[in-house]
Amino acid sequence: MLIAPSLLSCDFSKMGEEIARMDKAGADWMHLDVMDGHFVPNLTFGAPIMKWVRPFSDKPFDVHLMISDPLRYIDDFADAGADIITFHIESDSDIDKTIDKIKSRGIKAGLVLKPKTPAEAVFPYLDRLDLVLVMTVEPGFGGQSFMADMMPKVEAIKAEINRRGLNVLIEADGGIGDATIAEVARAGVDVSVAGTAVFKAENPSQAIKRLAAY
Ligand code: DX5
Ligand code: ZN
């Protein structure tokens, strides 16, 4: 299992150092949650901040856009050094145009599904994606409880990926930690986002190692 610590749970007064700390602790990807206070009821940071912290790690920056009009900001996040950009299928942007824009910048593209969005919604786009992110909480905040009832959705997407012989990763985000990682792995998730479980751990390096063992 690849582990992507969510910076949403970091100490933002030293975000760069927190990224370096996660890099050293063995994180596979850095997960950056971008919120606009409109698509979700919370605000975080945008591309200018990301540009400042980009030099603190060479690991892939996995940018999760929880914003209403992702297409408008793809160039900004590309310029700021994103390696992977995921955006919500429920957003207002044209999905095909947004995927094209991400790919035109040489960045991996992913679609994100909120809990109420069914697996089938992503099927028309699967052939053009590098990953699918399945939310296991309602997007907006860290520290929420894992929704185990999202696992059939993961299994359905995985089955479709395999049926078509595609090379698309499945990522899960929200409430993942020691108590839930086994279920996540069993359903076929390739990349787990973990905020609270890593940042609130006494020893983040051991926490990442435990989760990555699945
Ligand atoms: C929620 C974010 C998640 C969140 C995960 O909207 O997308 O990345 O930070 O945090 P935990 O692991 O604490 O649920
Ligand atoms: Zn996220």
d(CA 112, CA 86) in angstroms, rounded, equals 6
Q: Which residues carry out catalysis?
A: 33, 173
The pLDDT, as a whole number, for residue 133 is 99
Residue 50 and residue 19 in contact, taking contact as beta carbons nearer than 8 Å? no
Question: How high is the ipTM of this complex?
Answer: 0.98
User: Looking at the 3D structure of the chain, how many domains does it have?
Assistant: 1
Question: Binding residue per annotation — 81?
Answer: no
Residue 28: band (very low, low, confident or very high) from pLDDT cuts 50, 70, 90: very high
Say which CATH number the domain at 36 has. 3.20.20.70
- Is 62 touching ligand 1 by the criterion CB < 6 Å? no
Q: Which of 9, 32, 137 to mutate to test the pocket of ligand 1 (most atoms within 8 A of CB)?
A: 137
Rounded Cα distance, 14 and 19, in Å: 9
pLDDT in tens, 124-166: 999 999 999 999 999 999 999 999 999 999 999 999 999 999 9
Per-residue pLDDT of 97-134, as tens digits, reads 999 999 999 999 999 999 999 999 999 999 999 999 99
CA of 32 to the centre of ligand 1 (A): 10
141: domain range? 2-212
